[in-house]
Chains A and B, each alone.
Chain A
């Protein structure tokens, strides 16, 4: 039975010529796990918000929406659960348990009912251990899990999620998606989720919807939908590695989605006489841009070291990526290098000069700049134009253009646009060494590729880039050298092909797929090239 039915839905924002949602019709079966994807600005969020009346934006609307044959306008808030993007801002109260109870309090349920449901959800989601904590002490992943739990406590018929993992790191993302799948399987909860990162999500969904420019382009089983995409489709970069490979090699037959299927696809279709893609040579200049010598840092006297005798060397004009888990000290290392935090032991040298020798603002003039993880904290003004003038950005020197955004408020820009504006502001001081903290956070696949090009342009202009990231796929594409950070120290360094083929878990999906079949192939491009060299199997 269809639980949610949308018929000919069209929606236009006030003062807008073009409709944000155009003539969309679909229905969702009870207990289905549905993924909605599309580029930023394709109308995903608008569509999802139209399904939840309490937060529907203003505008003109045509069409009909039914939840279990009931017009959506009359459906109470509790029956449709909605989880949004930002973990922090969705939280209303100060304690974990009061957040869980918030929705039920609003429904006016008696204390004993609330107590039972809260207890039930807390143990289902495994949040008993932090039940009495302040929400401000939770990690991003825990916050988002709490948001999910405090929606689930109201026992909704359908759960709608709007890019819930875009602000989370990969481990927290896996955790969150795993919980979603468990909810879907255990409680046969109907899930509708919009997401950018599809590698893990696609194999667990029953149905895939694709939106483009407000229209629903595709609607079907994920294998069929992805199989029928064209090889140059703009959404393809977002798809799982196996599917990308299938398209890059113009595959025939059933489209593989998981790593296992991708491996079978390779083995069944291609020879592997030439196994080795030549490892990259480690060529770098002699001059050191940044050097850590036995650096020690801790946040407070009583706490353990976050950086413990850390040694790290970044040479001039290279792109150096630092990977590592949460709390391994990556971000702390960046802020120490940028002089925001003071180390208590060892030495940091920037272009051969001790960090302490840079007095006043001299470190930040023509020398070093830090682009933080949360790019919103870069903005101080009300329009993009003011922002650029303020920092006296030389726009003609930028590898991208922002002129079409001049009159917008920085906070109103999309994630990718904010990233570029922040980057422009950071580049204004003409740094020779640019430190970037999680630059790909919250970006869709297309924006990531655009950022990759920008980073390469900056390198070509002579900059040195030190990038801290969770995104192994991104690091494999952009880095000259990669390093793994663990408990405040570097445990391994190497060129991407060398580095990722040494790792078993902390490596790219492409390498995990091709390991043992090919050597050192860490990106889809590497595998594609090897397949071309080897040729197809005769069948």
Chain B
């Protein structure tokens, strides 16, 4: 199996939507456990020892949000202790930490997602829906560095001419404003060249297609099938109430049914996919290298 980032961007999108979606629509500690293990393990596999600060922030968010709920909500039967005549219950505490856990797990998923989905992959996904939107985005992305570079150049030139003063904030503002105004003129002026260049290359003569370097291969179809199967199974369990979990008045799991167990397993598999993919690729390389 190859690393998850090597799959077709649409497959990656669907994967992350499913993984995060199920987690957000359920309030189930077991699903959360699978989700958290999968998401954090994948993040660690990709980034290694780095990002200690992110881990700390996420942990702090988890603790703070987890503790807020039992302080404001006093539902639940099992009283742990009493602060200022307010009972702190086990149920409210668990509810708080499960909710916080879901949030933090989604954060982790999102971090790896943005890491994997580079700009051109996102554009590809947009391009599938509308070639026009993709073109506009791509042109926008082209203009940002162009503008930044230009603004810097003009400011530097004006400085060396002794015309740009930044002695005090008003002078600086006045000079910035003038640079900005000429920047607009410049952009419009260049827009004409760009438009000519577009028309010279047959823009607007018919329906556009969209080219990308991503293919939809057999492995993509395979992975997509697994994702849909797992997600479908879990969703079925959710819909039938097999995965219901009650926090109040007491923490209670629904009686385990075959459907429930299958659903839990499916989500477990879904969350393990990136880890399998990542370690599988590493192992394959090591194996191949030992043969050389």
Binding site for B on A (CB under 8 A): 52, 54-55, 76-78, 82, 84, 86, 88-95, 97-98, 101-111, 114-115, 118, 132, 134-136, 147, 150-151, 154, 335, 338-340, 360-361, 363-365, 369-370, 372, 374, 376-382, 390-391, 411, 425-426, 429
| For the complex of A and B, 10 pairs with smallest distance between CB atoms | A364-B162, A101-B211, A77-B202, A103-B201, A89-B193, A136-B145, A370-B160, A94-B141, A90-B197, A94-B142
Q: A114-B211, A340-B156, A380-B179 are in contact. Are A76 and B139 (CB under 8 A)?
A: no
Q: Are B182 and A340 in touch, CB under 8 angstroms?
A: no
**Given pairs A150-B201, A364-B161, 16 additional interface contacts (CB within 8 A):** A54-B196, A77-B202, A84-B197, A93-B135, A94-B139, A97-B213, A106-B202, A111-B211, A115-B211, A132-B120, A361-B165, A374-B153, A374-B157, A380-B182, A425-B161, A426-B161
- Smallest Cβ distance from A35 to chain B, in angstroms? 21
Contact with A along B130-149 (1 / 0, CB 8 A): 01000100110110011001
**How long is the Cα–Cα vector from A360 to B171 in the complex, in angstroms?**
13
How many angstroms from the CA of A426 to the CA of B185 in the assembled complex?
A: 21
Beyond A55-B196, A411-B186, is A372–B153 a contact (Cβ under 8 Å)?
A: yes
With beta carbons under 8 angstroms apart, the residue of A106, A118, A390 that contacts B205 is: A106
List, in ascending order, chain A residues with CB within 8 A of B255's CB: none
- Complex interface: chain B residues within 8 A of A106 (CB): 201-206, 208
B160 near A340: Cβ-Cβ < 8 Å: yes
Q: Contacting B142 at CB < 8 Å: which of A91, A115, A361, A391?
A: A91
Assess the A151–B138 pair: CB atoms within 8 A.
no
Separation in Å of the B134 CB from the closest CB of chain A?
Answer: 9
- Complex alpha-carbon distance, A379 and B131, angstroms: 38
User: Is the Cβ of B161 less than 8 Å from the Cβ of A86?
Assistant: no
Give residues 156-199 of B contacting A (CB, 8 Å).
Answer: 156-163, 165, 167, 178-179, 181-182, 185-186, 189-190, 193-194, 196-199
Asked if residues B138 and A105 are in contact (CB atoms below 8 Å), the reply is no
> Which residue of chain B is the closest to A426 with respect to CB atoms?
B161
A114-B209, A426-B161 in contact; A89/B139 too (CB < 8 A)? no
List 24 A-B residue pairs with CB atoms under 8 Å apart, sorted by A's residue number: A55-B199, A91-B142, A91-B194, A95-B138, A98-B138, A101-B211, A102-B201, A103-B202, A104-B209, A106-B203, A106-B204, A108-B208, A135-B142, A136-B142, A136-B146, A147-B197, A150-B201, A372-B156, A372-B160, A377-B153, A377-B156, A378-B157, A380-B178, A425-B161
Question: A89–B213 Cα gap in the complex (Å)?
Answer: 24
Q: Using a CB-CB cutoff of 8 Å, which residues 102-140 of chain B contact chain A?
A: 119-120, 123, 131, 135, 138-139
What total count of A-B pairs have CB within 8 Å? Answer: 169
Which residues of B lie under 8 Å from residue A98 when comparing CB positions? Answer: 120, 123, 138, 211
A107's partner among B149, B199, B205, B213 (CB-CB below 8 A) is B205
In the complex, the answer to whether B141 meets A105 with C-beta atoms within 8 Å is no
B289 contact set on A, CB distance < 8 A: none
A473 to B208, alpha carbons, bound, how many Å?
A: 48
User: Are the C-beta atoms of A92 and B156 separated by less than 8 Å?
Assistant: no
Known interface pairs A76-B202, A136-B146, A411-B186. Does A90 touch B161 (Cβ–Cβ under 8 Å)?
no
Tell me, rounded to whole Å, the shortest Cβ–Cβ distance linking A478 to chain B: 22
Residues from chain A with a CB closer than 8 A to the CB of B157 are 370, 372, 374, 377-378
Question: Are B139 and A93 touching (Cβ within 8 A)?
Answer: yes
- Place the interface of chain B in its size category: 35 or more
Q: State whether the Cβ of B52 lies closer than 8 Å to any Cβ in chain A.
A: no
Contacting residues, chain B, for A132 (C-beta < 8 A): 120, 213
Name the CB-closest residue of B to A135. Answer: B142
Q: How far is the CA of A523 from the CA of B135 in the complex (A)?
A: 51
Bound state CA distance, A24 and B159, in angstroms? 48
Tell me the smallest distance from the CB of A348 to a CB of chain B, in Å: 14
Name A93's contact: one of B142, B190, B209 (CB within 8 Å): B142
Q: In the assembled complex, how far is the CB of residue A402 from the closest CB belonging to chain B, in whole angstroms?
A: 17
CA distance A363 to B162 in the complex (A): 8
Note all chain A residues with C-beta closer than 8 A to B211. Answer: 97-98, 101, 104-105, 111, 114-115, 118
Q: Given A78-B202, A93-B135, A97-B213, is A335 in contact with B156 using a C-beta cutoff of 8 Å?
A: yes
Judged by a CB distance under 8 angstroms, whether B154 is at the interface is yes
Measured between alpha carbons, how far is A348 from B193 in the docked complex, in Å? 41
Closest to B197 in A: A90
Q: How far is the CB of A286 from chain B (nearest CB, A)?
A: 27
Report if B210 contacts A (CB, 8 A). Answer: yes
| Distance between A112 CB and nearest chain B CB, rounded to angstroms | 10
A109 to B210, CA, bound (A): 9
Q: Identify which of B156, B189, B199, B211 gathers the most chain A CB atoms within 10 Å of its CB.
A: B211
